Amino acid sequence: MIPVVCLRYYPALGGVETRALEVTNRLAKSFDLNVVTSDLKMERPFQRLSETEQLTEYKGVPIKRLESKKFLPVEGYGVKIKGLAEALSGSEMIHVHTYGAHHADKAAKIAKKLKVPSILTTHLHPASHSHHKMLRTIYDSIIGKKTLKRYTHIITITEIEKDYMAKRFGIPKKKMTAIPNGIDLLKFHDLGYEREKNSLLFVGRLSPVKRLDMLIKALSIVKKQIPDVKLKIIGRDWGEKAKLVELIKGLNLKENVEFLKEVPFEKLVEHYNRAKVFVLTSKYEAFGITIMEAIGCGTPVVVSSVGGIPEVVGDAGILCQENEQSVAKAIIELLRDEKKYNKLKKNTKTRRELFDWDIIADRVKTIYDKTLSSR
């Protein structure tokens, strides 16, 4: 049995959760996999999945849900998964998601004790972009570096992240493989809908790292030149919505912004297809799956040039600096310059083909085979 360990899992949503779900479902055809996760729905505010949401199996893959326990007010590392050692006993290999989380440190030690190989998919957010910079820097130096050395192999989400890991932690590049996230090309594709005039779309959790405040300030600049610009925000509130609503009110943007908490998958694909431009102005993204989902649907993007985003976007969007003036300029350019817009839209067709989940899963399968053969 090979357990896939992550803090949250479907139906809890997010970039890490999507990666774990899509790859695990595909690899389960070749390996005896199960998922070991917690009952956590979101970290901020701390919320557990309801009893009906705590699935114990999905698409034939068993899911073992353990109790989550918040022991520190630190996102990521501040939650323990109780009973992890017992759940991982008898494993022939262990695959863990997310560096900088308590379960990743513990699982690495368990694998060493069991004398089985282990793989870590990092989904890295560096200390410079953490909510707790000083604590994270200390963690990296004292705990994180030791944890990374314990893993048999490390999968990074981008080449940018791989280079960072080599420089920051001294991890040999031969011990790492960069394998990006992906999309289901059958689900995320251009439906040929007419795009809504001057429409912008954001998809993601409402948390500080997404810098929606900067996006809204950029929108106020755009409105001066394009009065009917509309921004649709889709995602769960991680404690930011009240502040954003006040900001929108103060900037007189109530008629220009619409919040949607959650939408069914079919509707989400429609929103991607109706939007003129997708926007994401995060402080940091290891990858940014929603960017790729938008590109998959033929929607050009305006995104901040941070983390692994440049590697994802390629020639299908505009990269911005981390300020509202840069974001506003890019949005105005795409909404007004039809020639530029059509060129980027055309580029989405070739860009999307590089990120097929089937291809991604096959690359991870190669790592599984090599790691298992090294026992």
CATH, range 199-355? 3.40.50.2000
| Token couple for 310 | 């440049």
Q: Is residue 44 pLDDT above 80, yes or no? A: no
Q: 156 with 162: CB under 8 angstroms? A: yes
Compute the mean pLDDT over every residue in the chain, rounded to the nearest whole number.
Answer: 94
Please name which of 210, 257, 212, 207 lies closest in space to residue 236, comparing C-alpha atoms.
207
Domain-by-domain residue ranges, the chain?
A: 2-182+356-373, 199-355
Please name which of 309, 311, 291, 293 lies closest in space to residue 301, comparing C-alpha atoms.
291
pLDDT at 43: 83
Of residues 304 and 71, which shows the higher confidence score?
Answer: 304
Q: 150 with 108: CB under 8 angstroms? A: yes
Cis check: omega of the bond before 45, within 30 degrees of 0: yes
CATH class of 2-182+356-373: alpha beta
pLDDT at 374: 81
- Report the DSSP beta bridge partners of residue 311: none
pLDDT at 13: 81
Report the alpha-carbon distance of residue 43 to residue 61 in Å, rounded: 25
pLDDT at 369: 97
- 215-251 pLDDT tens trace: 999 999 999 999 999 999 999 898 899 999 999 999 9
Same fold, 2-182+356-373 and 199-355: yes
Tell me the whole-structure pTM to 2 decimals. Answer: 0.86
pLDDT at 78: 87
Residues 6+ away with beta carbon under 8 Å from 49: 11, 12, 39, 40, 41, 65
Report the alpha-carbon distance of residue 261 to residue 274 in Å, rounded: 18
Q: Is residue 199 pLDDT above 80, yes or no? A: yes
pLDDT at 128: 73
Beta strand pairing call for 79-81 and 68-70: antiparallel
Q: Is residue 211 pLDDT above 80, yes or no? A: yes
